[in-house]
Amino acid sequence: MNLAVRCQNLTKTYDTGGQIVTALNGINLDIPMGELMMLVGPSGCGKTTLISVIAGILDQDSGLCELFGENIQQFSSKEKLHFRARNIGFVFQTFNLLPALNAAENVAIPLIINGMNRHLAKRKAIDLLTQVGLGERWTSLPSQLSGGQQQRVAIARALIHNPRLIVCDEPTSALDHETGLNVMHLLKSVALQKDRSLVIVTHDARIFEFADQVAEMDDGHIINVKDASLRT
Ligand SMILES: Nc1ncnc2c1ncn2[C@@H]1O[C@H](COP(=O)(O)OP(=O)(O)OP(=O)(O)O)[C@@H](O)[C@H]1O
Ligand SMILES: [Mg+2]
Domain that holds residue 70: 3-96+164-230
Sequence-distant contacts of 227-232: CB under 8 A, at least 24 apart? 228/38
Is residue 149 a part of any domain in this protein? no
Is residue 55 a part of any domain in this protein? yes
Is residue 128 a part of any domain in this protein? no
The Cα–Cα gap between 95 and 93 comes to 6
The Cα–Cα gap between 134 and 207 comes to 21
Give yes or no for residue 194 having a pLDDT over 80.
no
171 — pLDDT class (breaks 50, 70, 90): very high
What total number of domains does the chain contain?
A: 1
Residue 3, strand partner residues: 32
CATH number of the domain within which 211 lies: 3.40.50.300
Kindly give the distance from the C-alpha atom of residue 48 to the centroid of ligand 2, in angstroms, as a whole number: 4
Is residue 72 a part of any domain in this protein? yes
Tell me the C-alpha to C-alpha distance, in Å, between residue 215 and each of 99, 148, 228: 34, 26, 10
The Cα–Cα gap between 40 and 71 comes to 25
**Probe residue for ligand 1, chosen from 15, 19, 20, 21 as the CB with the greatest number of ligand atoms within 8 Å:** 21
pLDDT tens digits for range 120-145: 999 999 999 999 999 999 999 999 99
Is residue 21 a part of any domain in this protein? yes
Q: Is the CB of 14 under 6 A from ligand 1?
A: yes
Is residue 89 a part of any domain in this protein? yes
Is residue 221 a part of any domain in this protein? yes
Entry pTM:
0.94
What letter represents residue 15's amino acid?
Answer: D
